[in-house]
Structure 1
Amino acid sequence: MRKLFVKTENYKRFTSAVNAVEQRGAAEAGMLLVHGEPGFGKTQVVSRWAAEVGAVHLRANVDWTPRYFLVELHKALGIEAQGRAEEMFQSALKVITASNLPLVIDEAEFTLHNKAQVLEKVRDFSDRAEVTVILVGMERIQSSISKHKQISGRIAQVVEFKAAPLADVAQACELLSEVAIAPDLVSEVHRLSGGRMREVLNIIAAVERVAKLNGHERVGLEHVQGVPLSHDWRTRTPLTAKPGKGKGEGR
């Protein structure tokens, strides 16, 4: 599979929201919340953006405390973590302010423990440095954050990642697959994946294996009948292509 990045509809909506936050009127409203079900590409899209702009990218842990967060932040900034918590905050703030680095927190649910102490510390950086802060979490994180008015009032944009449309899946198949995938099979990839880009990538890899095994340069629906292309984790059963399916029909 080719190592390329597919600019999906979710990516376009995310970057549009980032631009809106960066052009905000109220300096303190510098947060962007990204949420959605697993597999819709949140981490991949945000990680790509963070790498492109040089953002500080952290993945929250279940046992994060404010000090633990500050230690991880110092590591990401490439500075030594030492002193009391307030001294660590000031040293990190100095670097972030001087470089105007955006801050990305993935698995942001873990910042909400103990009355959102860690997220309050993140808010402090947003307020003091006036940098863009992106919080990435699961579908329920918006309602959880709404309970903390001091934080939710800082969120200028919310982006919900949704299932990829057929056009996104077709683009992924064209750009990423090292073998040609026929339109009928593209539609089946869309159906089997449920629009989850993570599954789309797995299915493309499975199609490539079928092509390599059988010497196909172009793979259509007829070539993968009965071949497990994906896996339903809920029922623990393999998912196979079915004739006559496509055009985004339900699983």
Structure 2
Amino acid sequence: MSRRANPNSPSPRRGHAPEPVPSGLISTKEHRMFCEFADTVRSSRYIGLCYGPPGVGKTLSAEDYARWPEQRPFVEMPHPIVDWFHRGANRSDWHTLLYTPLVNTPPGRALTELTVMSNRHAMLRARHIEDPRRETNLHGASSYTELVIIDEAERLTTRALEQVRDFYDRSALGLILIGMPGIEKRLARYPQLYSRIGFVHHYRTLTIEELTTVLSTAFAHLGLASPDATEAIAAIARTTAGNFRLVNRLLNQAERILKLNNLDLVTAEVIDAARDALVIGTS
């Protein structure tokens, strides 16, 4: 289904670009809609809001759009651990920064981290440009940063949100806030912020048609027989309700059960056994 960058993996050596990390992300309709949403916010330079239940794929889509598994070591690791100026790091599709604040991040920390990331991004991109745009506004992003995506934005306090708005006002970029359902109601209480929101995207769960496509792709990747039986597909749909992350967890358990029993076909019984090995909420 998907593969995230390993946070414990070793940092790239100085003078060497990190090897590309394949996202393994299946291009669903929701993912394509998110990319169109991000493109619009980036080109129009306004604030976008994306919300949806946990596990539907919001973070995965943001990471894929920002090419974050490949870009992150250069932007988040301090010099001299990483050579910002490596030729292989000058990528035209590295136009977006992804920031995930800590729980209860103080306003000053969010502003500082966003500014530092943007400055490193500018140093990274300016190496092989004939007319380098190194200037930055006071506490603002460099002109190389076209879009900033803030994941789990509900972690930001009211003062931190105000600092983020100020950072946005001082920078010529687009800004996307990603959060859980209800964040749109919270932001509606802050006129200076919601008046700048130009696009709201509701990230939804997979439909049964897309779930079937995702399952076919995932099982082909695992080298297993395709779950043609409608009972198996119905069992997966019933268990996951189209939640992308839960589908991934369920398939991991199903693969384990298939190996233990030397099977190569997913059935409703296998899915039920896999479900018993998980903790599944009701939301």
Normalised by the shorter chain, which TM-score bucket? Answer: 0.7 to 0.9
Q: Structure 1 residue aligned with 2:268, among 221, 224, 249?
A: 221
Which blocks of at least 5 consecutive residues in structure 1 are unaligned?
80-88, 236-250
Partner of 2:175: 133
* Higher strand residue share: 1
Does the CA-based 8 Å contact 1:32-1:157 persist in structure 2? yes
Does the CA-based 8 Å contact 2:42-2:175 persist in structure 1? no
Q: 1:7-45 CA distances to partner (integer Å, 9 max, x unpaired)?
A: 122212212222332343xx5xx1110111112111111
Partner of 1:189: 236
Q: How does 1:1-251 map to 2 (within 5 A)?
A: 3=3, 4-24=24-44, 30-51=46-67, 53-54=93-94, 55-77=96-118, 79=120, 90=137, 93=140, 96-111=141-156, 113=157, 116-177=158-219, 178=222, 179-183=224-228, 184=230, 185-222=232-269, 224=270, 226-229=272-275, 231-234=278-281
Does the CA-based 8 Å contact 1:182-1:218 persist in structure 2? yes
Does the CA-based 8 Å contact 1:182-1:221 persist in structure 2? no
> For 2:250 and 2:176, how far apart are their aligned partners in 1?
30
> For 1:138 and 1:19, how far apart are their aligned partners in 2?
21
Is the alpha carbon distance of 1:110 and 1:143 closer, same or farther for their aligned partners in structure 2, counting shifts above 3 Å?
Answer: same
Aligned residues: 217
In angstroms, what is the RMSD of aligned CA positions? 2.5
- In the TM superposition, residue 149 of structure 1 has moved relative to its aligned partner by 0.8
Q: What's the TM-score once normalised by structure 2's chain length?
A: 0.68
Q: 1:156-208 CA distances to partner (integer Å, 9 max, x unpaired)?
A: 11111112111222222222231123132223212110111110001111221
Is the alpha carbon distance of 1:78 and 1:128 closer, same or farther for their aligned partners in structure 2, counting shifts above 3 Å?
Answer: closer
> For 1:23 and 1:225, how far apart are their aligned partners in 2?
44
Segment of structure 1 superposing worse, 34-43 or 172-181:
172-181
Does the CA-based 8 Å contact 1:11-1:45 persist in structure 2? yes
Does the CA-based 8 Å contact 2:41-2:176 persist in structure 1? no
> For 1:106 and 1:2, how far apart are their aligned partners in 2?
18
Q: In structure 1, the residue corresponding to 2:143 is in which secondary structure?
A: helix
Does the CA-based 8 Å contact 2:250-2:274 persist in structure 1? no
